[in-house]
């Protein structure tokens, strides 16, 4: 029986030496080591032997089994590698094909624009502030001098959670929240999402603003203009045309809106700028003394200005995007271009 075992080993080793493809390796392995394989049968047969012979032969059989298993593993790796080399040699694998690139993620363009804007204002001495998206009617309207029946509310219709809780329509409520906690001088910048019932090429029901506020003794409209011109020239370049237009906000007096020449059409008029050649990017003004009443600031001593810049508008002008909605469609072909 021992000879039988040794023969099986020699035969199997010589068989393994002749194997050249994966399928044949698998078949040979089953023939010898499978459930009905030669070696498996042999091991089964041992149980009929007297114990002393069984032990000796069993040990030898197991050593041979381990050896053969290892040899089968080795030959499998070898035939696989050979097959690969053959494929390469036969040009089945085109090694000149470009590799597959991993797509790298990145921050959304609007967040990058917001960050760039904040950095400019930080250089001008503004500190970062924050406020909630879900806001009390009091901060969104009331404390900004927009009482319940005021027509200015029509332009900022929003989503109501209840009579007193809304999705904020602008970042201006953060002004009151900051002034409640801090005495002048106050110089803050606050980016965030805002919500309105509004949707077309240049309006989205959710959009982003950067709010700014500077209150101190002796702040004038010249400071407002200086800061905003400095921002526009720093961000868009010194040659960019902008204009201040008189406007109205219940919480500023006087008020101004700032437009930038439409880059989509170069100022000649197009759908994006409603044929005016200009695109509004922000509202601003000198704080109405009325809003200081809500935060207990002395209007005889302090003056200040505030502004709210539309981040999407700035991004549209900076990157030549004609339709605001493309920012939110999440089409990577668009987003990776910016």
| 160-162 and 303-310 beta bridge pairing | unpaired
Query: Number of residues in contact with ligand DAH, rule: CB under 6 A?
Result: 12
Measured from the CB atom, is 37 or 310 closer to ligand DAH?
Answer: 310
From 52-60, 90-98, 127-135, 305-313, span contacting ligand DAH (CB under 6 A): 305-313
CB 330 within 8 A of CB 286: no
Q: Is 304 in the site for ligand DAH (CB under 6 A)?
A: no
Please tell me the distance from the alpha carbon of residue 260 to that of residue 138, in angstroms, as a whole number.
32
Binding string, residues 111-150; x marks residues near ligand DAH by CB under 6 A: ----------------------------------------
Q: Does 249 bind ligand DAH (CB under 6 A)?
A: yes
- Nearest-approach distance from CB 286 to ligand DAH, in angstroms: 8
Is residue 282 a contact partner of residue 135, using CB atoms and an 8 Å limit? no
For 187-223, letters b (16+ CB in 10 Å) and e give bbbbbbebbbebeeebebeebbbbbbbbbeeebeeeb
With CB under 6 A as the contact rule, the residue among 264, 302, 308, 321 that binds ligand DAH is 308
Q: How far is the CB of 255 from ligand DAH (least distance, A)?
A: 6
Contact 216, 186 (CB under 8 A): yes
Residue with tokens 């901060």: 139
Work out whether 204 is an interface residue with ligand DAH (CB under 6 A). no
Can residue 170 be called a binding residue for ligand DAH (CB under 6 A)?
Answer: yes
Instruction: Write phi, then psi, for 299 (nearest 5 degrees).
Output: -70, -15
Structure tokens at 149: 């029946």
| Per CB under 6 A, 285 contacts ligand DAH | yes
For ligand DAH, which is the closer residue by CB, 235 or 307? 307
Check binding of 284 to ligand DAH (CB under 6 A).
yes
**Taking the CB of residue 168, how many other CB atoms lie within 10 A of it?**
26
Residue 250 makes contact with ligand DAH by CB under 6 A: no
CB of 223 to ligand DAH, least distance (A): 13
Report in angstroms how near the CB of residue 108 gets to ligand DAH at its nearest: 21
- The yes or no reply on residue 202 touching ligand DAH (CB under 6 A) is no
Q: Which of 186, 306, 311, 316 contacts ligand DAH by CB under 6 A? A: 306
Nearest distance in Å: CB 211, ligand DAH? 6
CA distances from 283 to 6, 116, 212, 224, 228 (A): 95, 19, 10, 11, 11
> Phi and psi for 88 in degrees, rounded to 5?
-60, -45
Q: In the structure encoding, which two tokens stand for residue 193, read together?
A: 């999402």
Binding site for ligand DAH (CB under 6 A): 170, 172, 211, 249, 252, 255, 283-285, 306-308
């Amino acid at each position: 029986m021992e000879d039988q075992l040794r023969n099986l080993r020699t035969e199997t080793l010589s068989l393994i030496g002749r194997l050249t493809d994966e399928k044949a390796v698998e078949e040979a392995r089953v023939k010898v080591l499978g459930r009905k394989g030669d070696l498996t049968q042999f091991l089964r047969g041992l149980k009929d032997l007297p114990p002393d012979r069984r032990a000796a032969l069993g040990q030898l059989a197991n050593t041979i089994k381990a050896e053969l298993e290892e040899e089968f593993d080795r030959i499998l790796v070898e035939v696989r590698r050979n097959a690969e080399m053959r494929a390469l040699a036969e040009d089945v694998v085109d090694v000149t094909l470009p590799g597959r690139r991993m797509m790298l993620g990145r921050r959304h363009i609007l967040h990058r624009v917001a960050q760039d804007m904040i950095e400019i204002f930080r250089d001008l001495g503004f500190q970062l502030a924050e406020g909630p998206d879900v806001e009390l009617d009091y901060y969104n309207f009331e404390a900004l001098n927009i009482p319940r029946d005021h027509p200015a509310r029509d332009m900022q219709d929003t989503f109501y959670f209840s009579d007193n809780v809304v999705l904020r329509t602008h970042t201006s409520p953060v002004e009151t929240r900051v002034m409640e906690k801090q005495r002048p001088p106050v110089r803050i910048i606050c980016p965030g999402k805002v919500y309105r019932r509004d949707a077309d090429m240049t309006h989205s029901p959710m959009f982003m603003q950067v709010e700014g506020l500077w209150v101190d003794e002796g702040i004038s409209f010249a400071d407002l203009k200086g800061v905003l011109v400095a921002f526009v020239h720093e961000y868009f370049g010194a040659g960019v045309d902008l204009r201040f237009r008189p406007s109205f906000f219940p919480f500023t007096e006087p008020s101004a809106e700032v437009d930038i020449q439409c880059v989509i059409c170069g100022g000649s008029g197009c759908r994006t700028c409603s044929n005016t050649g200009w695109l509004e990017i922000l509202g601003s003004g000198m704080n109405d003394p009325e809003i200081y009443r809500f935060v207990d600031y002395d209007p005889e001593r302090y003056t200040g200005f505030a502004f709210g810049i539309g981040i999407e508008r700035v991004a549209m002008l900076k990157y030549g995007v004609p339709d605001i909605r493309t920012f939110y469609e999440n089409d990577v072909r668009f987003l990776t271009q910016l």
